[in-house]
A = this chain, B = another copy of it.
Amino acid sequence: MLIVAIDAVRELSEKEAIIRLVEKTSEYASGYKIGVGVLLKHGLEVIDTVKKASSRDVIVDLKLADIGDIMVSTLDLIASAGADAVIAHGFIGVKDALDKLVESAHRLGIKVLLVASMSHRGSEEYIDKHFNELLRVAIKIGAHGVVVPATKPQLIKSARSVLGNKHYIYSPGVGVQGAHPGDAICAGADYEIIGRLITTAPDPLNATRTIRSAQLEKVRLCRGYL
């Protein structure tokens, strides 16, 4: 239900800080998402560091958006480093891009999560205009899941309705970007991706516990059961 986003390069400039964060939060986390900044700062080894310290799945968030050959060669690198999943943009299109990525990902046992909408206002300028098409792309290529922001519960509802239960929905945008823990789950998401609310908290364990409780309480209210 909760994926912790390791994006805060400044707060996590030491490898030991990442290990401490992961050890403190892994009890309540379903997985970890590692951002491009942290990857560049610490190198590909950070993927294995997070996996070993957490025993959870690691999603590499490069927001891949390149031609197929380049995405495949990047995928090879992060797969060798131990990644379980990768985030790619749907808008890059299928032919000679996502088709190649997914073929390679299936061979390597890596899950592909497709961005279908984003939390920032600029997402409405182009990406959101193709939201329904991007969902169909996710179905067509057999993506493991899609990324739809917690700040847009109506789009999460649409995604759930179009995707049924065959694809997972991952929702960033909780906390600093405005949504509350549990909002996205109540709208139909499977996972909330939460970063700064946890990674920049004075006590990440306490922050994670509080978020987890808030999620459960919200879900109990919206679904009428725990």
Hey, which bits of chain A sit against chain B, CB under 8 A?
7, 9-10, 35-37, 39-41, 43-44, 62-63, 65-68, 70, 73-74, 76-78, 89-99, 118-127, 130, 133, 177
Known: A126-B91, A126-B93. A119 touches B67 (CB 8 A): yes
5 more CB-based (< 8 A) A-B contacts, given A95-B120, A95-B125: A40-B43, A92-B127, A96-B120, A97-B120, A126-B126
Report Cα–Cα, A91/B63, bound state, in Å. Answer: 13
For residue A59, give the distance in angstroms from its CB to the closest CB of chain B: 14
| Known contacts A89-B65, A91-B126, A77 near B40 by CB under 8 Å | yes
CB closest chain-B residue, reference A196: B69
A73 to B43 CA separation, bound complex (whole angstroms): 16
Chain B contacts for A35, CB-based, 8 A? 70
- Residue in chain B with minimal CB distance to A176: B69
Which of chain B's residues has its CB closest to A81's CB? B40
Which residues of B sit under 8 angstroms from A90, Cβ to Cβ? 126
User: In the complex, what's the smallest C-beta–C-beta distance from A86 to chain B, in angstroms?
Assistant: 12
Most chain B CB inside 10 Å of its own CB: which residue of A43, A78, A120, A124: A120
